[in-house]
Amino acid sequence: MSQRVVDYYLTITSPWTFLGHDEFSQIAKEAGVTINVKPVDLGAVFQSSGGLPLPQRPIQRQRYRLFDLQRWARKRGEPLNLHPKYFPADPNLGNKAVLAAADAGLDAMAFAGRIMRGVWCDERNAADPDYLREAAAAVGIDGAAVLKAAESAATAARYQELTEEAKAVSVFGSPFYVIDGEPFWGQDRLELVRDVLLGGFETIPEPA
Nearest alpha carbon to residue 91 among 133, 43, 140 = 43
* Domains held by the chain: number: 1
pLDDT tens-digit map of 58-102: 999 999 999 999 999 999 999 999 999 999 999 999 999 999 999
Q: Is residue 192 part of a domain?
A: yes
Report the pLDDT averaged over residues 187-191: 98
Q: What is the pLDDT of residue 79?
A: 92
Provide Rg for the chain, Cα atoms.
Answer: 16
pLDDT tens-digit map of 138-171: 999 999 999 999 999 999 999 999 999 999 999 9
Q: Is residue 191 part of a domain?
A: yes
Domain containing 46 equals: 5-198
Q: What angle do CA 37, 42, 48 make, to 5 degrees?
A: 120
CATH of the domain at 62: 3.40.30.10
Nearest alpha carbon to residue 183 among 170, 168, 195, 174 = 170
Residue 116, C-beta contacts closer than 8 angstroms, at least 6 positions apart: 12, 13, 14, 17, 18, 21, 126
Q: Is residue 83 part of a domain?
A: yes
Q: What is the pLDDT of residue 2?
A: 60
pLDDT at 49 over 60: yes
pLDDT at 112 over 50: yes
Q: What is the pLDDT of residue 83?
A: 97
Q: Is the peptide bond before 84 cis (omega within 30 degrees of 0)?
A: no
Q: Is residue 115 part of a domain?
A: yes
